[in-house]
Structure formats: C-alpha cells, structure tokens
Amino acid sequence: MRSPFAYTPRRGPLQAASPGAAVAYLGAFVAVAFLYSSPLVLAAAGLGAALAGRFAGAGGAVRVALRMGLTLALLIVAVNALVVDRGETVLLRLGELPLLGEVNVTAEALAAGATIGLRAAVAMVAFAVYSACVDPDRVLRALRPVARRSALTAALISRLVPVAAADASRLREASRLRGPAAAPLGRAALARRLLTGSLDRAVDVAATLELRGYSLQPPNPPRSIAAFSTQGWGKGSKRRSRYDRRFYLTGAVVLLAAIAGKLLGADGFHAYPTIELDPTPATLAVSALAILAGLAPMRRPAGRRNA
C-alpha cells in the first residue's frame, strides 16, 4: 500500500514550485509555531498548514499527520501534567507516585503541555505536506551543488522520509507474520527498526548516487540559465517555476508578520503561574494571516488564468 506521505506528482502550484520556495513557504508555518505560545496562533498555523496540504491535493497526508500529531500532543499533555509541578489551579491530587514523587495535576501544566503538543503537531503537518508535495528528485538535484561530496547527506535529506514511509507499512505487515516463538515486537522496537532500516536504505541510496556520478563536478549551466538559477542543469529546474514568487512572498510575509507581531506583544499567553490568554488585535492579525497563507497553493480559476 502506498504511504500517504509518499510524493505524488500532481499539477499544482506547490508541486511545480522549486524545493526552495516550498521549503520557505511551509517553513514559515513551522517558524510561527516555534515563535509563538499562544494557542490561538498555534491553531491558526496548524490550520494554515492543513489548508495548504488540502489545496495542494495532499489531504490524505494531512489527515494522517493530524492524527499522529494530535496523538503525540495528547501524550505530551499527559507527560507534562505528571512531571511538571507548577501552576496554581490544581485539578487532581494523585498523591505520592513512584519515581515522580507527589503529583498534582494543574490546569497550567495541561495548558503548557497542549502548547508544546500543538507546536509538534503543526511541524508534523507542515512536514507531511512537504513530503507529499515536493518532488524528492528535485530536492536531490537542488542539493548537488552544496552536497556534492556527500551523497549520503543528500540521500538523507531527500529520501529518508519517503523511504521510511514506504518501509513502515511493510514492517507493520511483517510484524503480523512473525511466528509465535519469534520475539514479540513493541512499537518502540518497530520504530527503532524503522529508523535504522531507513538509514541503511539511505546509505544504499547514497551508494547508488555515488555510482551514478553524483560526486562529479556539476557541469556549468548555460550562461542564460545561470543568470537566474543556481541549478539550471537539472531536469525540471532549468528555470524557476512561475509559482516560486508566490511561495517565497507568502512565506516571507508570514514570517515577517510573525516577528513583528511578537515584538508588538501578539503572543499574549502565559501558562504559569496561572493561565493568561490575552488576544490582542495583533494576535488576531497574525492568526488570520497564518490561515490565509494556507490558501497559497490554490490554483487560479481557468478564466482568470486566461485573462
């Protein structure tokens, strides 16, 4: 079965954009998530990334990433509530627990955990959209000028996630087929195997890249191409995509607005000692912008394109 995170060629602006533009655009959502603690802004960044995936045709990847991200967020909330002994609003007194000592679950610790969890979920959704929409072949080619001497680095960057996604479903299947006397497999063992297996596969890919001549000096691009592209020798990257400007611009606007908002106090949230959520107009503006940015991968209607 094909992984939802596997790249699928589609005729969409995000797929047509160069890897750099796509990374700048999707990276802006992640940057917002790591700059802000306000649940409002975090939720908006998550919604923006999800919309981006939806409009880029990667709805399946977004759904799976949301499921995984929210599961992880819940786990973080639970762990944070148990191990962080801060906050004034005690919701539950669990008493003395082994290793943890006296545990009081506070609303503040839950809120702080939710913030961290939301942040992780936003990053996962953005990465899922990247994985499903950005052609790894183009990433590989784009990396050649900077990672020519390290095919392994290039293979890890461009192939680790697609390979891991493909391996995961096969490993799950194989784990169902083990004999009764074989060592039982937990999620941790599978995850470790997935990571090591993906690294091994990336090493194999790197070996193949070496055999294909990846480490050779890249040829000089024709002068007319070199004038506006650093990667003009590769297939599909002879010229910039007409969508690049859109994604670079959107990413830059979101990032600059987020930084400006942060300076203007848009991140009006504190979990401790008591929860303080102070949504200012700047908070709302940054949130709205993050959501609107998710519309960037939309295609213009045919009539307007022809106009």
Partner 1 sequence: MPELATPPRAVPALAIERLSYAYSSATRPASDPHLGLDAGRVLHDVSLTLAPGEFAVLAGRSASGKTTLLRAACGLVPHFHGGEIEGSVEVAGIDAIAAGPGELASVVGYVAQDPETQIVSTTVAAEIALPLEMRGDAPASRARAVEEVALALAIPQLLDRTVDTLSGGELQRVALAAALVTRPKLVLLDEPTSQLDPVAGDELIWLLRRLNEEWGVSILLAEHRLERCLAAADRVIAMSSGAIGFDGAPSDFLAWAQSNDTALETPAARLFSLSGLEPLPTGVRQARQTLSAATPPLGRVAGGWGGLQRSGVNFSPENHPRTAATSPGEKSSKPETPPTARQDPPAATVRALWVELGEADVLRGIDLTIRRGERVALMGRNGAGKSTLLRTLAGLVDPVRGRAEAAAGIALLTQSPGDYLVRERVADELPGDAGRAALRSVGLEHAVEADPRDLSGGERQRLALAIALAGRTEGAELPGLVALDEPTRGMDRARRCGLEQLIEGLAGRGAGVVVATHDVEFAAAFAARVVLLGDGVVIADGGAAEVLSGGWYFATEVARILDLPGVVTPEQGVAALIDAEAGR
Residues that bind partner 1 (CB under 8 A): 2, 6-9, 135-137, 140-141, 155, 159, 166-167, 170-171, 173-183, 185, 189-190, 192-193, 196-197, 200-201, 204-216, 218-219, 233-235
Query: Cβ(296)–Cβ(246) under 8 Å?
Result: yes
**CA 172/CA 190 separation, integer angstroms:** 8
16 vs 84, beta carbon nearer partner 1 = 16
- 136 vs 261, which CB is nearer to partner 1? 136
The tokens describing 223, both together, are: 């002068």
Which is nearest to 3 in space by CA: 160, 203, 235? 160
Nearest CB to partner 1, comparing residues 235 and 305: 235
- Determine contact, residues 140/158, Cβ cutoff 8 Å: yes
Span between the terminal Cα atoms of the chain, in Å: 42
- Between 170 and 242, whose beta carbon lies closer to partner 1? 170
Question: E-assigned strands of 74-228?
Answer: 90-97, 101-106
Phi, psi of 101 (to 5 degrees): 75, -150
Asked if residue 266 lies in contact with residue 286, where contact means CB atoms within 8 angstroms, the answer is yes
Contacts of the segment 185-191: beta carbons below 8 A, 24+ positions apart: none
Q: State in angstroms the smallest separation of the CB of 90 from partner 1.
A: 43
Identity of the residue, 99 or 177, whose beta carbon is nearer to partner 1 in the bound complex? 177
Question: Toward partner 1, which CB reaches closer, 173 or 278?
Answer: 173
Least CB distance from residue 157 to partner 1, whole Å?
13
**Minimum distance from residue 244 beta carbon to partner 1 (Å):** 20
DSSP code for 17:
S
Collapsing DSSP states into helix, strand and coil, what is residue 9? coil
Rounded Cα distance between 211 and 5, Å, is 28
Name, in order, each residue with C-beta under 8 angstroms of 229's C-beta and a sequence gap of 6 or more: 221, 237, 238, 239, 240
Q: How far is the CB of 189 from partner 1 (least distance, A)?
A: 5
Closest to 132 in 3D by CA, of 162, 164, 166: 162
Smallest gap from residue 166 Cβ to partner 1 (A): 7
- Token pair for residue 43? 């939720």
Residue among 189 and 263 whose Cβ is closer to partner 1: 189
Least Å distance between CB 197 and partner 1? 7
Distances (CA, A) of 217 to 124, 213, 220, 232: 35, 9, 9, 14
Minimal distance, residue 260 CB to partner 1, in Å: 39
Smallest distance, Å, CB 224 to partner 1?
A: 14
Decide whether 205 or 296 has the Cβ nearer to partner 1.
205
